[in-house]
A = this chain, B = another copy of it.
Amino acid sequence: MFDLNAYLASKQETINFKLNEILDSFSDGGRIFESMGYSLNAGGKRIRPILSIAAAEAVGGNESMVLYIACAIEMIHTYSLIHDDLPAMDNDDLRRGKPTSHIQFDEATAILTGDALLTLAFEMLSSLEISKNNTPATCLEIIQLLAKAAGCQGMIEGQMRDILSEGKDLAFRELESIHRLKTGALIEASVCVGAVIGKGNEEKVDMLRTYGKHIGLAFQVMDDILNVSGDPSLMGKAVGSDAKRGKNTFPAIIGLSRSENVASRLVETGLHAIHGFDNKADPLRAIARYIIERKR
């Protein structure tokens, strides 16, 4: 029987160690590095890098092949959180129970810290550390995948549309499209990157892409649900903030119980996409179920 908690804890420990080792290798000890380290160590669940590693493992690769790249993905994710939390964006003072970057430091530092983490991700992805074990063409493919997912046709477009839709009535399909971009795109890319670096063949990469696409959307639907019905002490922040801000969420549009059904069906579809994989994909299967069972 696969023990997901042990798996997540072990991967989190590995990722946390590596993230700090990488940051130390760049740091001159100045404020920007202090702030980058603060946000990188603010208690993230490391879902995206873990998905990369698990996807690599599912196609016969291993953790060490993908760890450095997985850390670059977590840097991209962390940058997006810092910028989303800014006063001009979601104006959140707390994340995972800790002051957000602009509260702990200041707004200018938070903006630059996000910029620095995003840029560092691409510096890492084009570094010798990766190209010594992968062909330059594969490195470029990974950069393209992640830049697309994080960019103006992916995560940033989703965030822009999300902000523009505040206080407006959205149709289900429109919200789905925003969530796919805002959260789904980077999760899908994280899975694909792992599959590519783990040397999965094209067919397997496609199956894993489908898996990533569906669980990525499920993850955001569940975030919406937890924002309504979650336990603040587990979430590390107040619940109900989406409703207060007039945010469009799945529960607001289709209700809580239908949202839960949507999340469940997405996870089932994701699982179906990888049903032909052997037990090396068990971590991916367990993570998919965890996404809709998690409490924070």
A residues near B (Cβ < 8 Å) are: 26, 28, 30-33, 36, 79, 83, 86, 88-89, 102, 106-112, 114-116, 118-120, 122-123, 125-127, 131, 135-137, 139-141, 143-144, 147-148, 150-153, 156-157, 159-161, 163-164
A225 to B139: give the CA distance in the assembly, Å: 43
Chain B residue numbers with a CB within 8 Å of A144 are 123, 126-127
Q: Is the CB of B157 within 8 A of A143?
A: no
A107 touches which one: B32, B88, B127 (CB < 8 A)? B88
Chain B residue numbers with a CB within 8 Å of A161 are 30
A135 to B122: give the CA distance in the assembly, Å: 18
A147 touches which one: B88, B107, B123 (CB < 8 A)? B123
A108 to B164: give the CA distance in the assembly, Å: 10
Greatest chain B CB density within 10 A among A89, A139, A151 is at A151
A40 → chain B closest CB, angstroms? 12
Chain B residue numbers with a CB within 8 Å of A136 are 135-137, 139-140
A60 → chain B closest CB, angstroms? 24
Closest 6 CB pairs of A and B: A88-B107, A136-B136, A123-B147, A119-B151, A126-B143, A116-B152
A126 touches which one: B33, B115, B140 (CB < 8 A)? B140
A86 → chain B closest CB, angstroms? 6
A150 touches which one: B31, B119, B147, B150 (CB < 8 A)? B119
A89 touches which one: B26, B102, B111 (CB < 8 A)? B111
A112 to B119: give the CA distance in the assembly, Å: 15
Chain B residue numbers with a CB within 8 Å of A120 are 147, 151-152
A80 → chain B closest CB, angstroms? 8
A119 touches which one: B30, B88, B156 (CB < 8 A)? B156
A163 → chain B closest CB, angstroms? 5
Known contacts A140-B136, A152-B26; decide if A83 and B109 are in contact (CB<8 Å): no
A115 to B123: give the CA distance in the assembly, Å: 16
A32 touches which one: B116, B131, B156 (CB < 8 A)? B156
A85 to B269: give the CA distance in the assembly, Å: 45
Chain B residue numbers with a CB within 8 Å of A122 are 122, 143, 147
A202 → chain B closest CB, angstroms? 17
Question: In the complex, what residue of chain B is closest to A86 when comparing beta carbons?
Answer: B111
A127 → chain B closest CB, angstroms? 6
A6 → chain B closest CB, angstroms? 34
Chain B residue numbers with a CB within 8 Å of A139 are 136, 140
7 contacts between A and B (CB under 8 A): A88-B111, A111-B111, A112-B160, A119-B147, A119-B156, A123-B144, A123-B151
